[in-house]
Structure 1
Amino acid sequence: MSCFGLILLFVIVYVIFGPIGVVILSIILIISSLSKVKQTNISVNGFDQKKGYPSYDPFIDIIKIFSYITLLDSVVSKEEVEYVKSFLISLFPNDTQRVQTLMYYYKEFNESPNRFNLNEAIENINRFAKYEERLSIFSVVVDFSLKSRKSEKVRETLFGIGKRLNLNIYDINSIINYYDKFFSKDIDNRKRWYSILGVSEECSNDEIKRAYRDLVKKTHPDKLRNMPETVVKDAESRIKEINEAYNNIKMERGFS
């Protein structure tokens, strides 16, 4: 598929399925590319092969980029960890061991950034992935970055990563501007969703689930059937608002 064809496909998917469709499409393209790559003897910087890392897993390079972005502000947020975990579960829904192994790498890289080389990771991706797949990987990286924090430093870093992935400037800017526009437009909605549930954006998925269940127990209209009709209607509106906020957060974070 040509670059123009891929961008057109992204646009069509966005129109039909929205932003979540774009992310899912990116994941599918990444799987179709990198899952075919056989493990090789390329070393993983800083890790002793005797400790169980004897071969190269192409997805480790994506994890390295995630870690690099994560450490730009020297803080590893719960949202970032949950994003990476949800992303890996989407890639490998039936391979818990691989998800755990890659999450272990993410944790190790975050704690010891000198253990990986970003340039080497990008060189490996360039070696194994075609242009369209590199574009998809870049889309996921941008999605992760702009959900985590919005700043010129991140934008400059993303632009540099895009160039090192040998993407043309038009495609780099198109992807960054697309996600930037989406998150700028929806940032107020996102804050409102979390506010409705009474949680912060730093909360874990489990904390959000607990908050949702507690709110449903307290406000469900079935408990107010003997109350005046206006009270019941208010409760119905409230529970609808709670459900919509929770479903939007679930969709954004990728948990069920």
Structure 2
Amino acid sequence: MGKFAKWLGAGAGFTLGGPIGAIVGFVVGSFIDGISVEDFKEEQQEYQKRQHQGTRGRATSGDFEISLLILASVVIKSDGKIDQRELDYVRMYFVKMYGKERANHAFKLFNGIIKKQISTRQVCLQIRQYMSHATRLQLVHFLFGIAQADGQVTGNEEQEIRKIASYLYINEYDYSSIKAMFYNESDSAYKMLEITKEATNDEVKKAYRKMAKKHHPDKLQNLGEEHKNGANEKFQKIQAAYEQIKKERGIN
């Protein structure tokens, strides 16, 4: 079995089965040299064996990686074109998170995924079944980063991310908070903390404590250090929003 097959099987769990597994299997059989469909089926059988033995666990780093690639392809194609800047953003993110070799394997998969029609709802239902709320929030944050890579989030891209968020059971408050991290508006800092400008100083402090807890990188520790590091960006934006509001209001 080649290096790609080993990469695919090493970190993935639930994404080897269900609708996502069908997408990956199609890509492996159609677009990737050096790995056979039989190799992939071996990995699926190992996964199914673990399921029957009652060893199903939480999402792994590999599951997050594959889910991200599939949802990224949906967002990138949502405005009717594939922008090189968005592709570069995905590659840069993966190199930063996983290193060059693992990112190269991921992009082999991505280049096949982006050619295939995806049932967003089916994919999201599978993700929702296995991923924690904090992990799903991180997915949505990354998708906004992709959409903004070409300088702006288009209406079609925002609509697609909103649809993905709803399928992932991300409520409107959480969605608006993450969205505000990518829009420079007068009330963005308040939206990030899920409050309005009418909030009292005590309510601001309480909101910050709640959001800092919700978005703390430790929430993703089951995915590995690379994902904790990636979550720092979101956490820092929450901190910056709070500091901005404190400065505007003169809160100590």
Partner residue, 1:126: 128
| Number of equivalent positions | 145
Instruction: Tell me whether 1:50 sits opposite 2:37 in the alignment.
Output: yes
Paired position in structure 1 for 2:83: 77
Which SS does the other structure have where 2:91 is aligned?
helix
RMSD: 2.7
- 2:141 aligns to what? 139
Would you say 1:108 and 2:151 are equivalent positions? no
Going from structure 1 to structure 2, the CA distance change for 1:72 and 1:38 (only over 3 Å counts) comes to closer
Q: Kindly indicate whether the alpha-carbon contact (under 8 Å) linking 1:146 and 1:179 is maintained by their aligned counterparts in 2.
A: yes
Letter in 1 for 2:180: N
Could you say what secondary structure the match of 1:179 adopts?
Answer: coil
Secondary structure class of the residue paired with 1:180: coil
- Counterparts of 1:147-186 in structure 2 under 5 Å? 147-148=149-150, 149-181=152-184
Change (3 A) 1:51 1:90: farther
Contact 2:95/2:103, CA 8 A, preserved across alignment: yes
Unaligned runs of at least 5 residues, structure 2: 1-9, 30-35, 45-61, 189-252
Maintained 8 Å contact 2:71/2:143: yes
Residue 101 of structure 1: how far off its partner (Å): 2.1
What is the CA distance between 1:80 and its match in structure 2? Answer: 1.3
2:94, 2:165 → 1: CA distance?
A: 22
1:94-123 Cα deviation digits (max 9, x unpaired) = x61x3222101211122x222x43223222
Q: Which residue of 2 aligns with 1:91?
A: 97
Aligned partner letter, 2:113: F
1:38 match: 13
Change (3 A) 1:109 1:160: same
* Range 36-45 or range 126-135, more displaced: 36-45
User: Alpha-carbon deviation of 1:61?
Assistant: 1.6
Q: Deviations over 1:170-215 (max 9, x none)?
A: 1101111221228xx9xxxxxxxxxxxxxxxxxxxxxxxxxxxxxx
CA distance in 1, matches of 2:126, 2:83: 27
How far is 1:131 from its partner? Answer: 0.6
Task: Output the TM-score relative to the length of structure 1.
Answer: 0.50
Q: Larger radius of gyration, structure 1 or 2?
A: 1
Structure 1 portions without partners, runs of 5+: 1-34, 186-256
Match for 1:81: what amino acid? L
Distance 1:50 1:36, change over 3 A: closer
Q: Classify the secondary structure of the residue corresponding to 1:181.
A: coil
Matched residue type, 1:163: S
